[in-house]
Structure 1
Amino acid sequence: MIVAPASGNARPRETINPGQSRATGAQKATVLQDLIISGISVGGATCATNPLDVIKTRLQLNDRKATPGAPRPGLIKTGVNIVRHEGAFALWNGLPPAVARGFLYGGMRLGLYEPCKGLLLAAGQLAAPTPSALPTTSSSPSSATSAPQSAAAAGVGLKVAAGLASGALAAGLTSPTELIKTRLQAKDNTSRGTLEVIRTVVKSDGVQGLWRGAVPSMVRAALLTASQVATYDSVKREIIRAGGGSDSVWTHVAASGVTGLVTTTVTNPVDVVKTHMFVSGAGARKGILQTTMAILYNDGILGFMKGWTASYARLGPQTVFIFLISEGLRKALGLEGL
């Protein structure tokens, strides 16, 4: 415990517990708290946006059996067709594995971000030269100005690297839940539930088949987490700075809305490749390169942005929900904000 020294005016003594923020009095979250809060945030957001996830999956796959040259339905028409031909409950296909994945994957993806950042920071400090080894230069306005800029650049780079690491690790461990969810949401799905999908995959491809498409899933998760945390933090700081230091709910909504736009654009191409790999059966096994070239050949470069509107319609609100829930839980528990 740190005790602030008393002044001659006999001011009250300030006590600051280890891990406590001097500015707000909030405690720094533990790794377990980060995992649980992140899991609840992503799981809750997944429940709210599952219908849009189903529509996004259908839009990304609508050319697999479509007649060449036929008009492609958009976001609203795809949703209407699903309800008309399959019933409203079809919009909730794949919800159990989606929520399970959201809690596990989301909890690890965002919950492991701070530990990964700490490890990378420690590794960088060990690799950095000692002050005595650095050449001494006279101070100047240019050097004084460049110091904060280089520190800020290093901070952004550290956030991106930590996001890449935590996202890839989380996706690799939970990839089977994503495969099961996508199979259940696909239009040509004939499975009755999660267990039947597992049995079908294991029977045709073995246990390792549950990790089919894991590599593009890991790439997407790495890009998602890196762009998400770096964008949210940067945009939030700029909004607070422009608003005179007000960290309100509307600040979180605005920052997360911009974050959703950035992350959707960054991850959509990988998401299209991943979705195609997840739904291809044992008789049509294709690797990442083959799948990518097939999409490029059939749909052109714009094929990788297929379903972008549905992706943003889902990922935009989902990002807002994730950060609002997370910030709210942290505030309620007396923890530092993101």
Structure 2
Amino acid sequence: MSPPMADHKPKSDISFAGTFASSAFAASFAELCTIPLDTAKVRLQLQKKSVAGDALTLPKYKGMLGTVATIAREEGLASLWKGIVPGLHRQCLFGGLRIGLYEPVKTLYVGDNFVGDVPLSKKVLAALTTGALGITIANPTDLVKVRLQAEGKLPPGVPRRYSGALNAYSTIVRQEGVGALWTGIGPNIARNAIINAAELASYDQVKQTILKIPGFTDNVFTHLLSGLGAGFFAVCIGSPVDVVKSRMMGDSSAYKSTLDCFVKTLKNDGPFAFYKGFIPNFGRLGSWNVIMFLTLEQAKKFVRSIESP
């Protein structure tokens, strides 16, 4: 039976370059497969209560499947993949860094001579560190992805805000300044550090626990169960900061700060607003984690076969 990740050996058994490439590929593939659910999640999170006269108007988007169907019907099927280009930019940078650095940083925290099961606290600390570092570098790609996903069907004759990902980067810099590319960096660091910790640490821990159960081996079924666990923990813990991040990035002029966005969302939409899009978020993160970790394990296996003498 293969040893669980980081069990008795915190160091990675493949090079950093190999881990980075495997992580970037796995994250990008998962992004390509699941971005329609992410687009639905962003639309649900950005949807606010609107008042028409004395009565509240009915929300445009309802539920994951309803939102997907509405976007496809009104804007075309391709609109569900809005933001895929910056999404792939993001995953190559953020996915490669946060996962690629996880084992080295974990080794740094426990020490080179550590033997035994790495404590959960060290796994969480390592994942918080790599998540924060990775998204600090990749924030511009996240911003552009959200801006493109947020734009719905426009009235006839109204031009789109951005013609594409590269145009969005340049337009934001020209109109709002270079610093605007890091709009929402506060909630984004909080969200991605927390979600990264929930994903990587829980995947690490669940996999380690499963492999101690008689009859379980380091195979695809174990990776699938561990990936589902990682996605569930990530959504439960990270949904509130995810909503704040999406709202700040979708309409930065409406909020003065992260705290202002949090307070206004709570005041105007209530506490359940922080779990808007929970089902599509879990559908997205659950499936994303399963696809990503399954692909990652196979990619690392391939790299290991190349690097092994």
Is the structural similarity TM-score above 0.5? yes
Pair 1:205–1:285, CA change in 2 (3 A): farther
Distance 1:164 1:245 in 2: 29
1:216 aligns with 2:187: yes
Cα-to-partner distance string for 1:229-268 (whole Å, 9 max, x where unaligned): 2211221122222243422211111111111111111111
Answer 1 or 2: higher relative contact order, Cα 8 Å, separation at least 6: 2
1:329 to 275, 294, 299: 299
1:48: which partner in 2?
Answer: 33
2:73 to 63, 81, 84: 84
1:162: which partner in 2?
Answer: 126
For structure 2, the residue ranges without an aligned partner over 5 or more in a row are 1-5, 153-159
1:312 to 276, 279, 282: 282
For structure 1, the residue ranges without an aligned partner over 5 or more in a row are 1-20, 126-147
Distance 2:141 2:106 in 1: 26
Q: Which has the larger radius of gyration?
A: 1
Pair 1:297–1:124, CA change in 2 (3 A): farther
Cα-to-partner distance string for 1:5-47 (whole Å, 9 max, x where unaligned): xxxxxxxxxxxxxxxx9x9xxx801111111111111011000
1:293 aligns with 2:263: yes
1:69 to 56, 79, 98: 56
1:284 to 254, 274, 288: 254
1:118 aligns with 2:102: no
Identity %: 35
Amino acid at match of 1:43: S
Amino acid at match of 1:162: A
Pair 1:310–1:66, CA change in 2 (3 A): farther
Structure 1 residue 65, shift from structure 2 partner: 5.4
Cα-to-partner distance string for 1:84-134 (whole Å, 9 max, x where unaligned): 110111001111110111111100011111121122223999xxxxxxxxx
Distance 2:51 2:24 in 1: 38
Q: Secondary structure at the match of 2:161?
A: coil
2:155: which partner in 1?
Answer: none
| Larger deviation, residues 221-230 vs 60-69 | 60-69
- Normalising by the residue count of structure 2, what TM-score does the alignment of the two structures yield? 0.86
Amino acid at match of 1:70: T
Structure 1 residue 66, shift from structure 2 partner: 6.9
1:106: which partner in 2?
Answer: 95
Q: Is the 8 A contact 1:101 1:177 kept in 2?
A: yes
2:138: which partner in 1?
Answer: 174
Distance 1:267 1:241 in 2: 28
Amino acid at match of 1:274: K
Cα-to-partner distance string for 1:29-87 (whole Å, 9 max, x where unaligned): 11111111111110110000011111111010111657563343111111111111101
Cα-to-partner distance string for 1:168-202 (whole Å, 9 max, x where unaligned): 00000110000000000003563211133223322
Q: Is the 8 A contact 1:113 1:166 kept in 2?
A: yes
Pair 1:66–1:273, CA change in 2 (3 A): farther
Q: Secondary structure at the match of 2:304?
A: coil
Pair 1:176–1:64, CA change in 2 (3 A): farther
Amino acid at match of 2:293: F
1:30 aligns with 2:15: yes
Q: Secondary structure at the match of 2:24?
A: helix
Q: RMSD value over aligned CA atoms?
A: 2.7
